[in-house]
Structure 1
Amino acid sequence: MALLGRVRERLIAVLQFPNPSRSYDASRHCVCFWGYDNSREITFMVDDAILRNLQPGVGSDEQSVLGAFDEFREKVLEIAKKQYAGGPQNRYLIL
């Protein structure tokens, strides 16, 4: 019975975002942030077009894009959690 519990634990992806760090990648036009599934670091990149959809009229400079990310952080993290599937992949692009 204990083995079955361990198998179930492994099937449930537990993604957390304890690190509030984020950065803007101007060459890719995205904001990068990191989540953790146990000790595994997972990189997420949210396209700045997504942030413009959430906040129409946001500028295209780094400060404006990061400000939009900060304002809608919880919504972006919710999208990231839905997209995350666990397994060997450690990079996700949110389009």
Structure 2
Amino acid sequence: MTLAFPNPSRSLDKMRNAVRFTGYDGMFEVPFLVDVRALVKSPVELRMSDSLETACLDTFDSMRNVIYAAAAKAYQNGRSAPYILTAADIR
């Protein structure tokens, strides 16, 4: 089966400091996380807790195709779930 992303939902997981989203391999749900440091432009943005969620989700949305491609590559390479993507994976 091929990894697909039919559900565009994503959310900020404050405990993991990452944006959470899900892919599907057939009927199997595959969890992914993107480290927030991969989504913000500066250390200042990391400290701005009020706007951090908005900044991360907006960046995720603008980079959705790149992030999905990186997620598919990580899944194909056999990392263990949840698959955690970093700046090195998506830049």
TM-score bracket for the superposition, by shorter chain length: 0.7 to 0.9
Query: Contact 1:17 / 1:35 at 8 angstroms: preserved in 2?
Result: yes
Query: Contact 1:44 / 1:94 at 8 angstroms: preserved in 2?
Result: yes
Query: Contact 1:59 / 1:65 at 8 angstroms: preserved in 2?
Result: no
Matching residue of 1:78: 69
CA distance in 2, matches of 1:66, 1:59: 13
Matching residue of 1:50: 38
Matching residue of 1:19: 7
CA distance in 1, matches of 2:66, 2:12: 18
CA RMSD of aligned residues (A): 2.0
CA distance in 2, matches of 1:66, 1:39: 26
Residue identity opposite 1:17 in structure 2 = F
SS in 1 for 2:31: strand
Aligned match of 2:59 in 54, 68, 73? 68
Matching residue of 1:30: 18
Tell me the number of residue pairs that the alignment of Structure 1 and Structure 2 aligns: 79
> Who wins on radius of gyration, i.e. which is larger?
1
SS in 2 for 1:78: helix
Query: Contact 1:21 / 1:33 at 8 angstroms: preserved in 2?
Result: yes
SS in 2 for 1:93: strand
SS in 2 for 1:44: strand
Unaligned runs of 5+ in 2: 47-51, 87-91
Unaligned runs of 5+ in 1: 1-12
CA distance in 1, matches of 2:10, 2:45: 18
The Cα shift of 1:86 comes to 8.0
